[in-house]
Each structure stands twice: as C-alpha cells, then as structure tokens.
C-alpha cells in the first residue's frame, strides 16, 4: 500500500469538490471511523475517515455503513460543533499524511465559530482531532494521548494543539528539487511525501528519461487525479500515478475515492465483522472440534459393534458342540462348519455350555442394537458438523447485519442463549443483497441461512432460477427471470461461487434449476434444501464482477 504524503496531496486535490459544501449529518459507524454526509455543488457526498492502524484513509465513498443505535460521545461532540457547518477549505499540512477540514459553523446561541477537523493518517498513530481555531485548542479526539505516552504531543480535550513533529525533509515540488543519482532509500529519507513504492517508481522512470520527474510529480498535483492499483506476489499497491515498475497490468480508476473503495471496502468490512463476530467464530471452531472428536469415538464404537457376527457364530458353535463342551472349561476348540476351520471360543467356567451360548447371543443382540443407535448418532453428528461448517463459512463472508441474524438462528435452534437487549426489537425481514446482471435482470443473494430460506421461499417466484454451488457450502442465489440469458446465468453463478466456501477456487461447479424444483425437507435445519432437474455450469469467482453488479 502507499497512502504516503504524495498520495495525500492528490487526495487533497480530489476533495476540493467539498469546499462550500454543508455537513448535513455526522455518523460514527465504529470506534475507528467517521462518516460525514456533505451537500456540495448540487450533489450529496459521503466522506469516510478511518484511523484503522492498517487502513487509515480519507475518501468519498458509495458504500453503505451500519451505524450504532446510540452514537458514541465523540460523534455527539462533532454533531454539536460541525453539523450544519460549511467546509471552507481542505488543506494538506506540508507534505505530511495530514488533511485539515476547515469548517465554519454556529454555536448554540447562533454565533459564528471556526473549527478544524485534523485527519492524521499515520498507521497506528492515526487520529481525528477537533480543534477550536480561535484558541488553537483541542476540543476532543477519537484517540486520547496523555503526556505519559507522548511528552511532545498531548492529545486531550483542553490541551493546545501541536502538529506532529516535522521531519525536516525537502519539498519535492520545489524548483530546485534534484532527484538525480539518488537511490530509492535516499529519495525517501531526503524528500517529503515519498514511500518506498513511489521512490522506486520515480527512479524507474528517471532511468528511462532523466527529465521525467516533472511528469511524475504532475500526476499528484492534478486537479482530478486518477488512481492505479496493482496486485503482485500476494501484495497490493496503489498510487495516484501509474506504477510502471510493477508491470503493465495496472488497474486504472477514474478517481482516488473509487480506487480506495475498491481496495479497502472488503478488507475493512471483514475487519469490522471480526471485531463483532470474533467470539462467534471461536465458538463455532470449538463446536466443530468437539463434534469431530465425538465422531471419531462413535466410529470406533461402530467398528467394535460390527464384530457382532462373531458373537452370534460363537453362540451357534457352542450349541452345535454341546456334547463336547462341559461346565468348568475356560475355552473350547470347535470346527466352524461354514469354512471347516478350527475356532477357539472363550468360555465362562462357572456357566453351563447353554448359558455360555446364551451369553454370546445376548452380547450379539446388544451389539446389533448398538450398531443401529451408533449409526443414527453418526448421521446426526455429521449433519451438525456440516451445519456448523456452513455457519463458519457464512461468518467468514458476512457483513455486520448478517452476523446478528446468524446469532439469532443459533439461539432459535437451541445452540446458544439469546442475547438480552434493553429494547424489544420488532421482527424484521432478512436483509438480502441485490445485484443486477449486465443485461438488466435482478439477482438476489442470501448470505446466511435465514436469508437463504427467505430469498428462496418468500421472495422468489416459482418460475425464477435458483443457483447454488454443487456439494459446496454457499449462498442461495435467485435470478428473477423465467428465461434468463446465458450471460446472466454465468454472472449469477459467479456470485454464487464467490459467496461460497470455494471463493478462492477456480472452475467451481454451480447447479441451477427452477425455484419450483427446490424443496425443504420436513424438520431440516435452516438453509438446507434438496433440489431436482438441475443443470451445472463451471465458473471462477470474480470479486471485480461481483462489485460491479452490486446494486
């Protein structure tokens, strides 16, 4: 990644469209993010600010966010000071990863006030700080930093605001900036705003054109910068200039916000889900481990019980040789009349031959009953393992709202206690995701068992097309069309493969059939169905396609 000072400069240019815009709403989806709704130049914008240690950033976004029912204290403070305010400037501090939103608002009695929202994007030191510009004083911040932690900068309400320490580096945009003959490390250490990736790109271009620095820097100074993204050797790189040293497969985006939405949305969403569902994931892992251990024990018991035929044979052979077996004998050697081999049978010397025979018959009957019961328990245990593994896959691909529905399902099935809530929730319909194929046909997707049952048996028409990965845990996908075209079927199949356990696989088999051919067996667990008259297509999950088709 490369949200360095140069990228921050480019983002500052892109955010100039917010100047003169009015902040209509302030939300804090979680402890690391802010979302400002801004009306500017006749358009509605959503400005996302994150101080995540790995994903710190600021950009416009089109993605939906789930907000808590009760706003946190910092959110309430921002609503008091900047909601309804007008953005008068968006500036970068030097070449640092620090963007300042200058805001003119009014206080409770209607007097005009000036506020600044400082967005510091510095990895684990990232922060959002609200500053009273008249007194140059911190009103509050998303993260507090007492003197015991940092004697140079105290970030607490009421303290004077101090900028992060300057690194005393040269301005790369200065007329006398000279990059000639410098190594990548020397560029990073000498000039402000460079990360190793951008330094390497500059040197790569200078090797081919000694006068190429101006053109390189102009991309970061453009009024409407484009974004570039490359994945190489499992790592992701992005910039506001094409990263030619990483090859020719740069993915181009019309603007930086679109670029960051594409890169970070899935990662940040997964991180948010992990925070909310870490306990649920651990619980499922423990349950699966316990069930697999139980299954091993049951299979061992079944193997032992399968030896019952020898018990029956021993009883028969004792009865057939009553004339040679006497009470007091500890064992008897008799001929097995099925294969003419000699068999040694252990006897209880305290019992008569007939009692020994009856003992073997009795053990045979118990073993016979045990096999049936063990077989039933094995089937039930295997079913539970499949169910919990399906839930695990759903948790690993879930959004925040999906997690709550999975918890509710486990409580309804009696596996977990229902979470107590102060407020009584009204019954709500499952929130399924919607997509539109390239030919304009609506597609619905269930991402957990509640949604799967709802989308298949409540939303879909009998003539709609139903899709699911073949013999692989995954989502129910509905094409809302009686006769979908081939492109729509393949796109819907790609969505089904993406929201399945085979997300990282290639050539995934996906079955499809009419909804009328999908049945739910009596007493089956949520999400479980059987289906008939299916056809199968093979697709490779494509995240870009899924994001492109999302409604």
Q: What single-letter DSSP state applies at residue 164? A: P
Q: Would you say residue 397 has pLDDT above 90?
A: no
Residues 499, 385 share a domain: no
Cβ–Cβ contacts within 10 Å for residue 186, how many?
Answer: 13
Residues 184-201: pLDDT tens digits? 999 999 999 999 999 999
> What SS3 state is found at 87?
strand
Residues 150, 27 share a domain: yes
Query: Residue 63 maps to which CATH number?
Result: 2.30.310.10
Among residues 397, 424, 451, the one where a domain terminates is: 397
Residues 262-319: pLDDT tens digits? 888 767 777 777 777 788 889 999 999 999 999 999 888 887 776 777 888 888 888 9
What does the alpha-carbon distance between residue 500 and residue 502 come to, in Å, rounded to a whole number?
5
Q: Would you say residue 4 has pLDDT above 80?
A: yes
Among residues 397, 423, 448, the one where a domain terminates is: 397
Per the domain annotation, does 188 fall within a domain?
yes
The percent of residues in the chain predicted with pLDDT above 70, rounded, is 97
Q: Which domain holds residue 223?
A: 184-254
pLDDT of residue 424: 53
pLDDT of residue 18: 97
> What SS3 state is found at 359?
helix
Query: Residue 293 maps to which CATH number?
Result: 1.10.287
What does the alpha-carbon distance between residue 127 and residue 384 come to, in Å, rounded to a whole number?
45
Residues 198-235: pLDDT tens digits? 999 999 999 999 988 999 999 999 999 999 999 888 78
Among residues 222, 254, 286, the one where a domain terminates is: 254
**Do the beta carbons of residue 481 and residue 492 sit within 8 Å?**
no
Per the domain annotation, does 11 fall within a domain?
yes
Q: What share of the chain is helix, strand, coil (3-state, %, to 5)?
A: 40, 25, 40
What does the alpha-carbon distance between residue 133 and residue 127 come to, in Å, rounded to a whole number?
18
Residues 485, 382 share a domain: no
pLDDT of residue 382: 92
pLDDT of residue 262: 85
> What SS3 state is found at 187?
helix
**Do the beta carbons of residue 24 and residue 79 sit within 8 Å?**
no
Per the domain annotation, does 174 fall within a domain?
no
Residues 469, 381 share a domain: no
Per the domain annotation, does 413 fall within a domain?
no
Residues 129, 19 share a domain: yes
What does the alpha-carbon distance between residue 270 and residue 261 come to, in Å, rounded to a whole number?
14
Per the domain annotation, does 419 fall within a domain?
no
Residues 11-55: pLDDT tens digits? 999 999 999 999 999 999 888 899 999 999 999 999 999 998 888
pLDDT of residue 277: 79
Residues 380, 306 share a domain: yes
Residues 315, 221 share a domain: no
Cβ–Cβ contacts within 10 Å for residue 386, how many?
Answer: 14
What does the alpha-carbon distance between residue 447 and residue 433 come to, in Å, rounded to a whole number?
8
Residues 521, 479 share a domain: yes
What does the alpha-carbon distance between residue 481 and residue 465 come to, in Å, rounded to a whole number?
7
Residues 80-105: pLDDT tens digits? 999 999 999 999 999 999 999 999 99
Arithmetic mean of pLDDT over the chain: 90
* 1 band by pLDDT with thresholds 50, 70 and 90: low
Nearest CA among 485, 436, 440, 478 for reference residue 459:
478
Residues 46, 96 share a domain: yes
Per the domain annotation, does 231 fall within a domain?
yes
Distances from the Cα of 294 to the Cαs of 186, 409, 420, in angstroms?
61, 23, 31
Per the domain annotation, does 248 fall within a domain?
yes
Q: Report CA 42 to chain centroid distance, whole Å.
A: 35
Residues 197, 278 share a domain: no
Which tokens sit at 112? 């005009």
Q: Specify the number of domains making up the chain.
A: 4
Residues 281, 348 share a domain: yes
pLDDT of residue 419: 66
Nearest CA among 448, 304, 294, 447 for reference residue 370:
304
Residues 135, 51 share a domain: yes
pLDDT of residue 248: 75
Per the domain annotation, does 341 fall within a domain?
yes
């Amino acid at each position: 990644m490369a949200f360095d000072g140069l990228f921050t400069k480019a983002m500052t240019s892109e955010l100039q469209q917010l100047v003169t815009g009015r902040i209509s709403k302030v939300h804090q989806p979680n402890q690391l993010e802010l979302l400002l709704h801004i009306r500017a130049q006749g358009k509605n914008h959503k400005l996302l600010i994150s101080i995540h240690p790995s994903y710190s950033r600021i950009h416009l976004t089109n993605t939906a966010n789930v907000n808590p029912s009760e706003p946190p204290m910092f959110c309430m403070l921002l609503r008091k000071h900047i909601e309804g305010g007008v953005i008068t400037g968006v500036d970068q501090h030097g070449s640092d990863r620090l963007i300042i939103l200058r805001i003119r608002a009014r206080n409770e009695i209607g007097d005009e006030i000036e506020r600044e929202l400082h967005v510091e994007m510095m990895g684990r030191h990232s922060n959002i700080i609200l500053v009273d510009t008249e007194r140059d004083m911190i009103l509050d911040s998303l993260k507090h930093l007492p003197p015991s932690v940092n004697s140079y900068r105290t970030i607490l309400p009421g303290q004077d605001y101090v900028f992060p320490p300057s690194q005393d580096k040269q301005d790369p945009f200065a007329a006398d900036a000279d990059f000639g003959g410098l190594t990548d490390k020397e560029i990073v250490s000498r000039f402000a705003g460079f990360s190793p990736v951008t330094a390497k790109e500059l040197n790569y271009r200078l090797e081919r054109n000694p006068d190429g620095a101006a053109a390189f820097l102009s991309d970061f100074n453009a009024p409407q910068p484009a974004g570039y993204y490359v994945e190489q050797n499992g790592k992701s790189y992005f910039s506001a200039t094409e990263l030619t040293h990483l090859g020719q497969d740069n993915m181009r985006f019309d603007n930086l916000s679109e670029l960051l939405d594409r890169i970070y949305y899935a990662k940040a969403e997964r991180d948010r889900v992990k925070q909310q569902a870490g306990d649920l994931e651990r619980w499922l892992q423990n349950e699966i481990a316990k069930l697999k251990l139980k299954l091993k024990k049951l299979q061992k018991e079944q193997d032992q019980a399968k030896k019952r035929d020898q018990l029956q044979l021993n009883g028969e052979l004792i009865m057939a040789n009553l004339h040679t077996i006497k009470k007091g004998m500890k064992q008897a050697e008799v001929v097995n009349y099925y294969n003419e081999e000699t068999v040694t049978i252990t006897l209880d010397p305290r019992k008569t031959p007939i009692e020994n025979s009856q003992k073997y018959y009795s053990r045979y009957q118990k073993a016979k009953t045990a096999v049936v019961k063990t077989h039933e328990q094995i089937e039930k245990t295997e079913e539970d393992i499949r169910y919990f593994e399906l839930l695990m896959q759903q948790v690993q691909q879930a959004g925040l709202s999906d997690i709550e529905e999975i918890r509710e399902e486990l409580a309804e099935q009696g596996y977990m206690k229902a979470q107590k809530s102060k407020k009584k929730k009204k019954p709500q319909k499952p929130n399924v995701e919607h997509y539109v194929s390239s030919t304009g046909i609506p597609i619905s997707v269930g991402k957990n068992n509640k949604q799967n049952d709802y989308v298949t048996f409540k939303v879909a028409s009998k003539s709609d097309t139903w899709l699911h990965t073949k013999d692989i845990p995954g989502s129910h996908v509905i094409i809302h069309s009686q006769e979908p075209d081939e492109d729509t079927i393949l796109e819907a199949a790609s969505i089904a493969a993406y929201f399945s356990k085979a997300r990282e696989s290639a050539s995934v088999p996906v079955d499809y059939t009419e909804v009328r051919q999908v049945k739910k067996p009596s007493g089956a667990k949520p999400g479980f169905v059987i289906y008939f008259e299916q056809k199968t297509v093979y697709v490779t999950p494509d995240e870009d396609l899924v994001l492109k088709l999302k409604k």
